[in-house]
């Protein structure tokens, strides 16, 4: 049951962050959602698009990486970690994601104004005056996706290592009690 709690919590955090992130980015460049993505709902409301894509783009990543973290926390004979053992690090990850998004968006905006990084220069579906905003949003999304995935893989590795350290400490304690 503890593994399921970890998976569900990380999935819920991913969805919540995805919806919040998309609520901001859809207002910068709605074309990112209406032109560059397939239509998943009939609405063109920015709020509804952000809810739909915030959920659709994150639930599977949260569930998959949540499963990885749960495995690292619960599998095998090492001492187990529970959701409460991860809570501070999960909060830290969620707090760092907007920073990654802002940095990625800023980099995309700066580079998108040059000839160095022009991902949508030939896309005639996007008007030339909107390409910089779309590039900004695209870059923010890529940055936060990589940062979130890397952070959760790092959390899984940290959890596995911590369990190993706890197991070593427990073995040392048992040897000390027998002496």
Q: What tokens were used for 101?
A: 């998004």
The helix (run of H) or strand (run of E) holding residue 50 is: helix 46-56
pLDDT-derived band at 99 (thresholds 50, 70, 90) equals: very high
Domain limits at 158? Answer: 2-178
State the Cα–Cα distance between residues 68 and 72, nearest whole angstrom. 6
Q: Per the structure, how many domains does the chain have?
A: 1
pLDDT-derived band at 177 (thresholds 50, 70, 90) equals: low
State the Cα–Cα distance between residues 58 and 63, nearest whole angstrom. 8
Segment 131-160 shows an average pLDDT of 97
Q: How many CB atoms lie within 10 A of CB 46?
A: 16
Q: What tokens were used for 148?
A: 């979130």
pLDDT-derived band at 176 (thresholds 50, 70, 90) equals: low
Quote the percentage of the chain above a pLDDT of 70.
96
Q: Which residue in this structure is represented by tokens 């005056």?
A: 129
Q: Which residue in this structure is represented by tokens 């955090």?
A: 13
More confident residue, 114 or 4: 4
Residue 147 has pLDDT above 90, yes or no: yes
pLDDT for res 46:
96
Tell me what the pLDDT averaged over the chain comes to.
93
State the Cα–Cα distance between residues 41 and 20, nearest whole angstrom. 18
Residue 179 has pLDDT above 60, yes or no: no
State the Cα–Cα distance between residues 107 and 102, nearest whole angstrom. 8
State the Cα–Cα distance between residues 85 and 69, nearest whole angstrom. 12
Which long-range contacts link 55-58 to residues 24+ away (Cβ below 8 Å)? 55/15, 55/18, 55/19, 57/18, 57/22, 58/14, 58/15, 58/17, 58/18, 58/19
pLDDT for res 178:
60
For residue range 36-95, what is the model confidence (pLDDT) as tens digits?
Answer: 999 999 998 999 999 999 999 999 999 999 999 999 999 999 999 999 999 999 999 999
């Amino acid at each position: 049951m503890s593994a399921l709690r970890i998976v569900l919590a990380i999935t819920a955090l991913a969805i919540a962050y995805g919806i919040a992130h998309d609520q901001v980015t859809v207002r910068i460049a709605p074309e990112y959602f209406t032109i560059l993505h397939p239509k998943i709902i009939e609405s063109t409301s920015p709020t509804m698009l952000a809810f739909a894509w915030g959920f659709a783009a994150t639930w599977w990543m949260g569930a998959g990486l949540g499963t990885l973290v749960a495995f690292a926390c619960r599998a095998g004979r090492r001492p187990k970690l529970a959701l409460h053992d991860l809570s501070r690090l999960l909060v830290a990850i969620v707090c760092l994601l907007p920073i990654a998004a802002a940095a990625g968006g800023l980099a995309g905006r700066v580079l998108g104004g040059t000839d160095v990084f022009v991902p949508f220069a030939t896309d005639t579906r996007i008007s030339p005056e909107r390409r910089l905003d779309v590039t900004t949003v695209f870059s923010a999304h890529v940055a936060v996706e990589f940062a979130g995935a890397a952070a959760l893989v790092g959390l899984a590795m940290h959890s596995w290592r911590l369990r190993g350290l706890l197991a070593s400490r427990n073995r040392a304690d048992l040897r000390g009690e027998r002496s």
